[in-house]
Amino acid sequence: MEIWELYLLTRLDAVGIALGITIILTSMTLTASWLVSHGACTTEDKALFGKIIWKVLPVLVVCVLMQIILPTSKQAYTILGGHYVTNIENVEKLSPNMVKAANKFLEVYVEDGVIDE
């Protein structure tokens, strides 16, 4: 694994926060546009706010889907660690100290509820 890939794993929490903020802002814009378009305004205003709704709605849908699909940094580390643990060749040649360290590292995630035992 390259160093930039590890860096991107550390940024997943920030991406989740940015997606959350975007979801809140687009929801507010969508709600305001819907309320204004159904209020007492001219037909031109209704058409304008209708266009705004159809431009904001795909952004909201994509952000919600990304928020659901993207893991947190801790979950990504767990996935990556699980992959490496299950795909080690010559695992029996590892020293007992290294196995204890790996177990201690994974126990933190089990206690936090990130992974099941």
Domain borders along the chain are: 3-69, 73-112
Would you state the pLDDT for residue 52? 86
**Distance between CA atoms of residues 20 and 61, nearest Å:** 12
- CA–CA separation, 58 and 27 (whole Å): 11
pLDDT in tens, 25-44: 999 999 888 888 777 677 78
pLDDT of 115 > 60? The answer is no
Spatial distance between the Cα atoms of 51 and 37, rounded to a whole number of angstroms: 10
Percentage, residues of the chain above pLDDT 70: 84
Task: Indicate the pTM of the whole model.
Answer: 0.66
For the segment 85-93, the average pLDDT, to the nearest whole number, is 68
Please tell me the distance from the alpha carbon of residue 117 to that of residue 67, in angstroms, as a whole number: 26
pLDDT band at 23 (very low <50, low <70, confident <90, very high): very high
Averaged pLDDT for residues 58-70: 94
pLDDT in the model for residue 112: 62
The yes-or-no verdict on residue 72 having pLDDT over 70 is yes
